[in-house]
Structure 1
């Protein structure tokens, strides 16, 4: 990806993360880089655990990114949380670390990242978005108990080759299966899943008014912490549907407050790509990720921090498979 100097190669991304963990461990004892699984092409799936200085047991929170191959800006925001925690954390991130153990998984789809990089960001959405087996990892999660998948655009396709192909079965992919094991073992209290590029917030599809109001407050805490671009929350208990996305599974199966954050705004994306022959990559990522890292790091921390003041969502720890 020769022209994309603001975004690291797959190898440089891994070195950067290891270097940041080594630097963090010097000031935050116990910080560690954990391999929680392997991708289809046997690349490591890494998560960083950053212990809290608080005494005794503390809740755990999780930030994930890059479940879709070309969405590099989410990776930059997730890595930026660790970098800013080491250097000069914004107040929401500092307070979050004081109260919770922070887990960071910057690249859930390293095969898709590597393919996007190798192709210089050129290709169809399906070509760049999927894992190595052509599966949209954010449609590969089980539906909540009693839910059904409606035949709507984007709701998860059963046709191989489609941009939202959900795979042969829920958790059929090593990337989602490994992450689900991590969710089960660590029992995270809250999570933010970083995507791009619509500048929007998608909480889970919830069934109660209480949960809907809770997510409205959590998303507003996120928005208020964004210094220059505030994202729009999109949610409806009436018109939303279950699609096999990660935040639905986390909320309903794992009892975890969760949100999808579409980093980078539609307006900014349009400004840099409209009427120009540019790779698909530039629809999803800003030329300079730094302003968006500065915008979104404190906001993600504010969402997670606000969630700590709530009890875990009450949901049955059960899910079903598609027929």
Structure 2
């Protein structure tokens, strides 16, 4: 297939020298975020872990796509000859910085020996891709979080990366709000074709290469769990149990699972692709609930502060044990079965 010409970017790539319009502290700049990730890997190695950074691709604007790999201590009592590999992803949408904080917080918790994270490390190889959309992150930071969703959410070509994944075989996209727009410039523009974007294509290649067993995708700001949509009763029950294990480990705010075997549609989202095309137990976690967002600001001063708490630490503590528990419980399960879907 010959490559399609790239759509004209709605905004020019942001440069490292651009100054932030508004202070977004305590959230880091793109450069600070990358230095922090390097420091976490060094600290993991200093704590006796086998950790490394894997550059798995580049964004539209040429920024590196990076994932941290932490080898498992491996539970010798486990039946498998090799530990399962699990993946945590964050920041597929530009302004959702809280997901990046939770992803980094998971690595911090491993260094500190937090019980749920340590238990996960015993049975699984941990991968963390804390910023899937570095161009959107940089644009959001450079603008001080100011702008509309269509300005800050997508990658540098204006594509919503969480609508750019292939639909499961046998499914179709219904023309409902949020299901992915075919119009360039819309906040949920899905791109010219599935995996048209270097960010999604690179992550898809990484998933093929590593064969992840389970994945948690971190977003904001609804305070809900969206497991992959499944139609068979057995998988639906597994997701109910996995999501219950997630909420049981949340210390303050417990999130509600939103799922239906019938009244739902496929939208080109990452968790559906991971489950149906990669046989990977997968869930979308919307951190920082809507109610908390409106308690923080009835009228947020910018789009950024609608999506992110002023203090991320309580939310990191609330999410990290739950993320680790979900992944650990999923790693104990058999992989999802590939099933033929009914046409929806």
Residue 173 of structure 1: aligned partner: 197
Distance of aligned partners of 1:195 and 1:289 in 2 relative to their CA distance in 1, 3 Å threshold: same
* Residue 236, structure 1, aligned to residue 236, structure 2: no
Provide the C-alpha distance between the structure 1 equivalents of 2:50 and 2:339, rounded to a whole number of angstroms. Answer: 33
3-state DSSP class of the match of 2:217? strand
Structure-2 residue corresponding to 1:31: 51
Partner of 1:151: 175
Q: How is 1:39-118 mapped onto 2 (pairs within 5 angstroms)?
A: 39-54=59-74, 57-89=82-114, 91-118=115-142
Q: Partners of 1:212 and 1:317 in 2: how far apart?
A: 15
Deviation per residue, 1:31-69 (Å, 9 max, x gap): 101100000000000000001111551000000000000
Q: CA deviation at 1:254?
A: 0.2
TM-score by structure 2 length?
0.90
Give deviations 1:2-57, integer Å, cap 9, x for gaps: 42211000000000000110110122343101100000000000000001111551
* CA RMSD, 1 decimal: 1.3
TM-score (norm 1): 0.96
* Aligned match of 2:319: 296
Cα deviation 1:222-258 (Å, max 9, x = unaligned): 0000000000110011111000000000000000000
CA contact (8 A) 2:24 2:145 kept: no
Q: Structure 1, residues 183-231: CA drift from partner, whole Å, max 9, x if none?
A: 0000000000000000000011112011111100000000000000000
Contact conserved, 1:254 with 1:317, CA < 8 A, in 2? no
Structure 2 unaligned spans of 5+: 1-19
- For residues 202-221 of structure 1, what are the structure 2 equivalents within 5 Å? 202-221=226-245
Q: 2 CA distance for matches of 1:68 and 1:95?
A: 30
Please say if 1:285 is aligned against 2:308: yes
- Please state whether the residue corresponding to 1:11 is helix, strand or coil: helix
Q: How does 1:111-130 map to 2 (within 5 A)?
A: 111-130=135-154
Point out where structure 1 has 5 or more consecutive residues left out of the alignment: 319-323
Other structure's SS at 2:219 match: strand
Q: Aligned to 1:126, what secondary structure does the other structure show?
A: helix
Residues 120-169 of structure 1: CA deviation (Å, up to 9, x unaligned): 00000010000000000000000011100000100000011111000000
* CA-CA distance at 1:317 after TM superposition: 11
Q: Secondary structure at the match of 1:143?
A: coil
Q: Distance in 2 between matches of 1:277 and 1:237?
A: 35
**In structure 2, distance between residues paired with 1:277 and 1:82:** 30
Is 1:187 the counterpart of 2:208 in the alignment?
Answer: no
Q: Contact 2:164/2:269 (CA < 8 Å) preserved in 1? A: yes
State the Cα distance separating 1:93 from its structure 2 match.
Answer: 1.0
Paired residues of 2:276 and 2:338 also in contact (CA < 8 A): yes
Aligned residue pairs, count? 316
The Cα shift of 1:277 comes to 5.1
CA distance in 1, matches of 2:245, 2:300: 38
Following the alignment from structure 1 to structure 2, what is the Cα–Cα distance between the partners of residues 57 and 27? 23
What is the 5 A alignment of 1:244-259?
A: 244-259=268-283
User: 1:308 Cα shift?
Assistant: 1.7
Structure-2 change in CA distance of 1:151 and 1:15 (3 Å) = same
Who is 2:40 aligned against? 20
Map of 1:3 onto structure 2 = 23
